[in-house]
Structure 1
Amino acid sequence: MKVLVVKMSSLGDVIHTLPALSDAVSMKDDVRFDWVVEEAFAAIPEQHPSVEEVIPVGIRRWTRKPTGWEGIRDAFRFVRQLRRRDYDLIIDAQGLIKSAVVSGFARGKVAGLDGESAREPMSQRFYHETVSVARSEHAVTRVRQLFAGTLGYEVPPGNPDYGLGGAQCSLGEATGRIMLLHGTTWESKHWPRACWRDLARQLTETGYEVVLTSGNARERERAEFIVRDLPEARLLPQMPLADVMREMSLCDGVVSVDSGLGHLAVAMDIPVIGIYGASNANLTGMYGGRVITLATRHLPCAPCLRKECQFLSLPNRTTIFPPCYEQITPQRVASTLIGVLTR
């Protein structure tokens, strides 16, 4: 049975889809997958053993700036590639109108979430078959239930299998290296840079090597501040996602805010300490057997799900902002991580 998966972005959402493929091949011997994904994230489905072909799409590139005839030609080439074979089933695992339209270009029956379950209810109008999944479930569980409903099996019990651990992680040998993933999208999801620097100092003083990544100029500036004058801390050069995965596989552990790379570390079966404030870890948090989530508990507004913190900085509070990180101190993060690594 040949199935096309349409889950194009973002990085965390793409990673959340991987366990559903592992479920499917464990329950149905004959199922194999192709996958439509944004070109920047193609390295992720390429690593899953059940994906035979990755079909990259450049919607983000086409929409961020005028592309002229070159972009139009790219779009036509993509559609031709998408339609060159028939599929037994097409699963829109994203639940957006744009993903439903892309699914409709492919040749085969299209399935997706119903209007009560999808992020954009109008997407159900493009499907031949729909599945109802509770919005209160974690994103990983929702996709696993979508695949189970369309392919006709029960979701297997146990922790999710992302299909990346065996292919990417080192052979279990301690390297003494910790990766700090400080970059994220929303302002409200950023742990204060002073906290990151203090954490890096504590880890290097304990004997660990600390490495940081950066994806843009702003992240690079923050990373340079964090590693400044810390001989055992360094900033990695900007690199493709596949190379980030290789660097990550050399690490004993990872500390991350709510970011796509944090979800990737969990999927690679690396011990992760996840730092959560504005976003809801119960619905979209890092999900796996080797992650410890440190989430805000002391403020009634958290998780606010807002891109900008609406909490006013008051004179009688600490200098930590956003204030939902007041109780997630560098000392707490360091002791939690070291406790995991020294068990």
Structure 2
Amino acid sequence: MDKRACRDAARDWLRHTSAFQNAACPAAPPFLLAIVADPHLMKRILLIKITSLGDMVHTLPLVHDLRRAYPGAKIDWVADASCADIPRWTVGIDRVIAPPLRQFKKNGKKWRDLRGILGAVRELRREPYDVAIDVHGVYKSAIVARLSRTRRRLGYAAEFLGESRAEFAYTELFGPHGDADCRHKMRLVVANALGYEIEPQETCELSIPKPAAPLAADGVPRAMLFHATSAEIKKWPQANWIEVGHALSLRGYRVQLPWGSQQEHEEAKALAAAIPGAEVLPRMSITECAQRVDAAALVVGMDTGFVHLADALGKPTVMIFTATSRPHFGVNRPGQSISVGDNGVRPPVDEVLAAVAQVTGHGAGASQGLPRDCATGDVSA
């Protein structure tokens, strides 16, 4: 039996066994998984993670794993047009397919946006893929997988999906992943399904466009405070942000306050009025905000996409949780990033400032000179 025949036999075994739904089932014969994982036979990979910004960042270590396992393969990423900057900056991605799904829904389903979606479908079907990997797990991502020109479509079992009936699109289901966090879970289930080994550390590689002019040319360190959140329940009290801002100003930081909506703009102005030397940043695109993050000396913020991006870029980062799971979504890289609080647990100001001391190398308990798990590519300084 030649390699291609063995690979087909392996895929047939994986498609019909329940091993990926029941941990007690027998494992695949090693030679079969070895053929499935053969880097010379894997030519084109489709990765599906459509939204949102934070979830895109969580997917970066998986991209590095796939590129390491299949150095000669072409890897395409399907992402909503509103979030497509992250895939475009990701080292190892060959093509980004970006349907304007959010815009279509937000703008009243206009014909222009529909044409954009149809164009993305044509682009999706332009090339056949050896495998489609849906790590999003909702109807729209499942439909993308089903529309792709591949017979092998990987996805989560119904109990792990955001929308359980999305399972219809998959030919193989990911296996159990225990209590792994969101990033390691993706790495683990895909590696097990495709039969390759992963490294212990996570690697994130991004190449962000450089700004037209340096953003911190005066030498004053910037501390960005991402005070805004997508839901009221996730907010941290304004009085706490003011205390943190005061403390950072006393340590020589220039506090910068980004915002996205009119309400957030008003909140940022109120904070700036109470924090010495604080700056309310202008309305920014995703690229402009990412450049600011990359130029910052410190980022403190809620469990939001740009704070996850700061961690991926290797910036000293403190992430605050109040209404989502810190063990599942949090960042924690010794000497670089710390998460505080948890679902239903608002951290006090003292705990946040202690975390700032640790990630910036100041104060008791600070860790200095430790290796960082995430590596950046050609990013602005």
Query: Which category describes the TM-score, using the shorter chain as reference length?
Result: 0.7 to 0.9
Taking a change above 3 Å as real, the CA distance of residues 16 and 287 of structure 1, as seen in their structure-2 partners, is farther
Check if 1:193 corresponds to 2:242: no
- Identity level (%): 29
Taking a change above 3 Å as real, the CA distance of residues 168 and 287 of structure 1, as seen in their structure-2 partners, is farther
Check if 1:274 corresponds to 2:294: no
- Which residue of structure 2 aligns with residue 152 of structure 1? 195
**Residue in structure 1 matching 2:163, options 104, 120, 123:** 120
Separation (CA, whole Å) in 2 of partners of 1:192 and 1:340:
22
- Which residue of structure 1 aligns with residue 154 of structure 2? 111
Report 1:322-341 matches (<5 A). Answer: 324-325=345-346, 327-329=347-349, 331-341=350-360
CA-to-aligned-CA distance 1:7-52 (integer Å, 9 cap, x gap): 0001111111110111122233223311111112111111111001
Structure 2 residue runs of 5 or longer lacking an equivalent are 1-42, 363-367, 369-381
| Shift in Å, 1:150 | 3.3
Report 1:167-316 matches (<5 A). Answer: 175-228=220-273, 230-286=275-331, 288-289=333-334, 290-296=336-342, 303-304=343-344
Separation (CA, whole Å) in 2 of partners of 1:184 and 1:218:
11
CA-to-aligned-CA distance 1:110-146 (integer Å, 9 cap, x gap): 2112224333332221112221133632110111123
Separation (CA, whole Å) in 1 of partners of 2:274 and 2:58:
37
Which amino acid in structure 2 is aligned with residue 35 of structure 1? W
Name the count of aligned residue pairs: 313
Aligned with 2:193: secondary structure?
Answer: helix
Separation (CA, whole Å) in 2 of partners of 1:286 and 1:69:
41
Aligned with 2:108: secondary structure?
Answer: coil
Separation (CA, whole Å) in 1 of partners of 2:258 and 2:333:
22
Taking a change above 3 Å as real, the CA distance of residues 125 and 23 of structure 1, as seen in their structure-2 partners, is same
Which amino acid in structure 1 is aligned with residue 238 of structure 2? R
Separation (CA, whole Å) in 2 of partners of 1:271 and 1:90:
35
Contact map agreement 2:208 2:291 (CA 8 A) in 1: no
- Which residue of structure 2 aligns with residue 318 of structure 1? none
- Which residue of structure 1 aligns with residue 180 of structure 2? 137
Separation (CA, whole Å) in 2 of partners of 1:258 and 1:168:
26
| Shift in Å, 1:65 | 3.5
Q: CA RMSD in A?
A: 2.3
Taking a change above 3 Å as real, the CA distance of residues 145 and 240 of structure 1, as seen in their structure-2 partners, is same
Separation (CA, whole Å) in 2 of partners of 1:76 and 1:42:
17
Contact map agreement 1:165 1:267 (CA 8 A) in 2: no
Contact map agreement 1:96 1:120 (CA 8 A) in 2: yes
Which amino acid in structure 1 is aligned with residue 64 of structure 2? S
- Which residue of structure 1 aligns with residue 371 of structure 2? none
CA-to-aligned-CA distance 1:43-91 (integer Å, 9 cap, x gap): 1111111001111121111112312322332221121111111111111
Separation (CA, whole Å) in 2 of partners of 1:286 and 1:217:
29
Separation (CA, whole Å) in 1 of partners of 2:329 and 2:210:
23
Contact map agreement 1:209 1:232 (CA 8 A) in 2: yes
Structure 1 residue runs of 5 or longer lacking an equivalent are 297-302, 305-323
Separation (CA, whole Å) in 1 of partners of 2:206 and 2:284:
20
| Shift in Å, 1:107 | 1.1
Check if 1:17 corresponds to 2:79: no
| Shift in Å, 1:106 | 1.5
| Shift in Å, 1:336 | 2.8
Separation (CA, whole Å) in 2 of partners of 1:19 and 1:288:
14
Aligned with 1:57: secondary structure?
Answer: coil
- Which residue of structure 2 aligns with residue 313 of structure 1? none
Structure with the larger strand share: 1
- Which residue of structure 1 aligns with residue 31 of structure 2? none
Structure whose alpha-carbon radius of gyration is higher: 2
| Shift in Å, 1:166 | 9.3
Instruction: State the TM-score, normalizing by the size of structure 1.
Output: 0.84
Structure 1 ranges of 4+ moved more than 4 A:
165-170
Separation (CA, whole Å) in 2 of partners of 1:165 and 1:67:
33
Contact map agreement 2:82 2:102 (CA 8 A) in 1: no
CA-to-aligned-CA distance 1:251-287 (integer Å, 9 cap, x gap): 1111011111111111111111111122111112235
Check if 1:86 corresponds to 2:147: no
- Which residue of structure 2 aligns with residue 162 of structure 1? 204
Taking a change above 3 Å as real, the CA distance of residues 211 and 17 of structure 1, as seen in their structure-2 partners, is same
CA-to-aligned-CA distance 1:310-342 (integer Å, 9 cap, x gap): xxxxxxxxxxxxxx32x421x432343134323
Which amino acid in structure 2 is aligned with residue 56 of structure 1? A
| Shift in Å, 1:180 | 0.6
